[in-house]
Amino acid sequence: MHRRLGTALATSTVALVTVVATASASSAAPADKPQVLSSWTQTSASSYSAWAAARANQGAWSAYGFDWSTDYCSSSPDNPFGFPFNVSCARHDFGYRNYKAAGTFSANKSRLDSAFYEDLKRVCNGYGGATKTACDSTAWTYYQAVRAFG
């Protein structure tokens, strides 16, 4: 009788551990996903840098289930007049796609658009004179487009 009870307890324990492990493995992304998403979508250069580092090492963040896909600047040129806006557009897409998936897009859209504009201006800061002026003007146009149509 003790042998049957021991076997039954052992089987039940293994089954319980399996259920708990399966539930843990299939559960949603880590609880801090909203905080991580927020930290990568702020207007600061440090936020941009943290996102860029994570984008370069997406596998380390796979448990979070972030959508890293991008079409860059959609139907607008990624590098208008030679200004490399493609990575700024990729971060903007990251914010839009992940906040939409979280159901909190409308509460964050304005900040995402502002972060996009700041990213574009950082690109433009690498230029001087008339080239910087042209870049800043193009950045403003892209910003106004996402504010209105994004």
Q: Rounded CA gap, 69 and 74, in Å?
A: 12
Q: Which residue has the tokens 């998936």?
A: 101
Cβ atoms of residues 121 and 139 within 8 Å: yes
Question: Alpha carbon of 39 to those of 48, 50, 69, 120, 145: distances in Å?
Answer: 9, 8, 19, 18, 24
Whether 92 is a known active-site residue: answer yes
The residue from 73, 88, 92, 93 that is catalytic is 92
3-state secondary structure of 96: helix
List helix spans (H) across 40-104.
45-56, 86-102
Token output for 99:
């906040």
Angle formed at CA 150 by CA 107 and CA 118, multiple of 5 degrees: 80
Q: Could you give the residue numbers annotated as active site? A: 92
